[in-house]
Amino acid sequence: MMIESRLNNIFDQYDLEENRVTNAFLQTLAQNSDILKRFLDKYMNMHIGKTANIKISAQKEPFSLGDIQGDREKIEGIPDGWIVVNENIAIVFEVKVVRNSVRQTQLLAHIRRIKGYEQKHLCVITPDDESPVGSIEIPNVNIKWIPWRAIYELTTSKAEMYGIPEYFKIQLKEYLAMKEDLVGFQGIDYPSGVFNTREAKIIIKSLIKEIKPDILKVYPKLKHERKSYSQDVHAYTVYHRTMWSFLGADENFTKDIHLTFWLAETHMGMGLTIPNSAGARWKKLRTIFKQDDLFNAFVDKLFVLRKKVPNVYLEFVHRHYLRQRDGIIDGITEMNIDTVKGSKKIKQNSKWLQMMRELVASKRGFNGQFMIRTRYFYKDHTSIKKPEFKQTLLDTARSFYEIYNILTQE
């Protein structure tokens, strides 16, 4: 098979984002004839022989020089990409990076450009969850829709990408994954290979978007989510750098209980947070922690939770703010609930629970925050890198409901 690439230089970039991702994808197909054959066979149901002559082009009149210049309507009439096989088979591509943006008039304009070919194919690639072309039928034209998720899976599969240089694969994986809302949540797998806040932001935003509808079925009041993901770091913080988000009962998450989600260098965590200003929750907490029978029953519930999740930590933070801006940690303590009874990995030391009980029960007159949380350490959970891990997180969120219900009951 001979592939003739009429694509721009791999380092040459288009102004429009959808043209850039189209170029990245078609550059991948042009790298290796086996990858191109696998794509055509798997997604277009086309079986190409070894002697086929294939030409690939992007955002141009077929095989003309330069990008199309002119009015917007004329530009939109040009397909985002072309593949021509043996001069008689044509595939035109329409690529979108925004959901629900496919227009039938635009697709029809693309098809008119290949009316002279014996076999005509239209490939539409979008981030939609359902096919935007399912109701479109055009005689003698094979119309296929491919979600960007599938393209991501194709280009990150070792088997499918066999023959592509490792550096190229890493760069492509990072490029697609970091286009917000393009491939969705694909697991907690940093394209660069290490935790960094830029990649973590895209991952956690995609995760929240996909799990929120199911979370609301269990926690209907937790409808507010983080809107700004700026990375302001207080001058005196002692926390390790993380990327976090929340689903809360109040738009101002510091006013009431919320589910917190975060990504860190070693783990992904989630849990319930009772911020300082959640007055009703703190009243309930202090009542529970002061009375022996209520406290013992609460600890029992924590151990029920512990059976469902990898670990359970209790954290208490006492802080104040300098100039109402820079957070200063006056005191912080965290304990693993397993220290109460001990385990194969954790030494028994019941004094941790005694200290935590006293801190919560006596919280008054200062800024205090209490968290009940679990962590999924990357080293222990290899499934964390797969899209299916979101189901694990949904199950984990459901496991926290009984504790949430206790703290929110009037």
* Dihedral sign from CA coordinates of 157, 161, 165, 169: negative
Specify whether the CB–CB gap between 7 and 57 falls below 8 A.
yes
Give all strands of the β-sheet with 81-85 in edge-to-edge order: 2-5, 53-58, 81-85, 89-95, 119-126, 141-147
Q: Do 33 and 163 share a structural domain?
A: yes
Q: Do 24 and 92 share a structural domain?
A: yes
List 324's β-bridge partners, or say none.
Answer: none
The rounded distance, in Å, linking the Cα atoms of 39 and 46 is: 9
pTM of the model: 0.84
Asked if residue 187 belongs to a domain, the reply is no
Q: Do 201 and 133 share a structural domain?
A: no
What string of pLDDT tens digits covers the 410 residues of the chain? 777 777 766 655 677 788 888 888 888 888 888 888 889 999 999 988 888 899 998 875 444 433 444 444 455 568 899 999 999 999 999 999 999 999 999 999 999 989 999 999 999 999 999 999 988 888 999 999 999 999 888 888 887 777 788 878 778 888 888 888 899 999 999 888 889 888 999 999 999 999 999 999 999 999 999 998 876 666 666 666 689 999 999 999 999 999 999 999 999 999 999 999 999 999 999 999 999 999 999 999 999 999 999 999 999 999 888 776 677 888 999 999 999 999 989 999 999 999 999 999 999 989 999 999 999 999 999 999 999 999 999 999 999 999 999 999 87
Q: Do 151 and 264 share a structural domain?
A: no
Q: Which of 307, 302, 366 is nearest to 335 (CA)?
A: 302
Q: Do 244 and 299 share a structural domain?
A: yes
Asked if residue 188 belongs to a domain, the reply is no
The CA-atom distances, in angstroms, between 289 and each of 276, 353, 364 are 16, 11, 13
Which two tokens mark 53? 């002559």
Q: Where residue 289 sits, what CATH number does that domain have?
A: 3.30.930.20
Which two tokens mark 70? 């002119």
Asked if residue 186 belongs to a domain, the reply is no
Q: Do 216 and 128 share a structural domain?
A: no
Asked if residue 189 belongs to a domain, the reply is no
Q: Do 142 and 203 share a structural domain?
A: no
Contacts of 36-44 with CB under 8 Å at 24 or more apart are: 36/1, 36/3, 37/1, 38/160, 39/154, 40/83, 42/154, 43/123, 43/144, 43/146, 43/150, 44/91, 44/121, 44/123, 44/142, 44/144
The residue written with tokens 């911020």 in the block is 275
Nearest 5°: the CA angle 344, 350, 353 is 115
Q: Do 201 and 171 share a structural domain?
A: no
Q: Do 323 and 219 share a structural domain?
A: yes
Q: Do 98 and 231 share a structural domain?
A: no
The rounded distance, in Å, linking the Cα atoms of 141 and 145 is: 13
Boundary of a domain, candidates 143, 177, 211: 177
Rg of the chain taking only CA atoms, in angstroms = 27
Asked if residue 272 belongs to a domain, the reply is yes
Asked if residue 141 belongs to a domain, the reply is yes
Domains contained in the chain, number: 2
Asked if residue 66 belongs to a domain, the reply is yes
Q: Which amino acid is at 107?
A: L
Q: Do 66 and 127 share a structural domain?
A: yes
Asked if residue 226 belongs to a domain, the reply is yes
The rounded distance, in Å, linking the Cα atoms of 86 and 48 is: 10
Domain housing 309: 197-408
Q: Do 401 and 360 share a structural domain?
A: yes
